[in-house]
Amino acid sequence: MNPPKVTAIITVYNEQQWIRCAVDSLLNQSLRDIEVLVLDDGSDDDTPAILDSIDDDRLQVVRCGRLGRAAALARAVELATGRYIANLDADDVAYPDRLRDQAAFLDANPDHAWIGGGEEREDTQRDEHYVRLYPESDADVRRMSAKCIPYCHSAVTFRKSLLDQGLNYDPDQPFLIDFEFFLRVAARHKVANLPHAVVKRRAHAKSYFQRSFTYGQQNRELSRLCRIARRQFNLPVWMEAYPLARTVYPMIPAAIKTPIRRALGLDEGGES
């Protein structure tokens, strides 16, 4: 059989509440030439039974011991057979034309290795529901990376050929796994975002990112990676102010953090 055009990957650990919606959103894509690869990272809730109940030849479920998020993502990329690889977090939903639109972009732009898109964000922690779009052009994506993560990880599709260049998620990266990977990809290739939302992203207290790491840990690592981005992409020195602002931000009263965050463009779009 010919390999599919796109392999959509989901790494999952105990997401019985959301996993069916995530998988269904991929199997119901307008682009039919796809593979959906779910790597079950040692779930011990009803996630395995839910996956077993889905009858579709395009769905491949791989079960393994507890690898951890980074190693599971790296393994999923290695197992994918599609020309392009699209990540979707297990608690998110892909819009019906997401894979069609992103595959078409990569087909038409062979100098780009990575394409993201906007997100409809349902944030139960901050009681917010809105659509967030990201910068579209390679230059603007790079510029934003000194402030914050310039894409939504659940909306990212990239070329499988990156693996031949030794580019994959780092299994030893503890968190902000996708941003660290992005910086290595963008060091060699152009990157972009589509001008519209392609996923619904759920931000909640039980998400992997929120339950695994403290706010201080997240902020310190994000500041470090933003500084790397500023230097790697030869951005103006004054943009070092953005990582510095992240150091001060936790000291600000909670009631005024949201308007400050939005005014400075310091929202994070990465792991959920």
Give the C-alpha separation, 108 to 102, whole Å.
Answer: 10
Q: Report, in angstroms and rounded to the nearest whole number, the Rg of the chain calculated over CA atoms.
A: 18
Higher model confidence: residue 261 or residue 97?
97
pLDDT-above-90 percentage for the chain? 75
Instruction: Give the chain's mean pLDDT.
Output: 90
pLDDT higher than threshold 70 for residue 110? yes
Position 257 scores a pLDDT of 62
pLDDT higher than threshold 70 for residue 261? no
pLDDT higher than threshold 90 for residue 201? yes
155: amino acid identity, one letter: A
pTM recorded for the entire structure: 0.87
Q: Mind listing the pLDDT tens digit for each residue in 3-23? A: 999 999 999 999 999 999 999
Position 94 scores a pLDDT of 98
Position 210 scores a pLDDT of 47
Q: Mind listing the pLDDT tens digit for each residue in 134-166? A: 999 999 999 999 999 999 999 999 999 999 999
Q: What is the dihedral sign for C-alpha 152, 252, 225, 134?
A: positive
Higher model confidence: residue 212 or residue 119?
119
Q: Mind listing the pLDDT tens digit for each residue in 42-100? A: 999 999 999 999 999 999 999 988 899 999 999 999 999 999 999 999 999 999 999 99
pLDDT higher than threshold 90 for residue 258? no
Position 254 scores a pLDDT of 66
Please name each of the domains of the chain with its CATH number.
Answer: 6-141+149-202 (3.90.550.10)
Position 178 scores a pLDDT of 97
Model confidence at 235, pLDDT cuts 50, 70, 90, reads very high
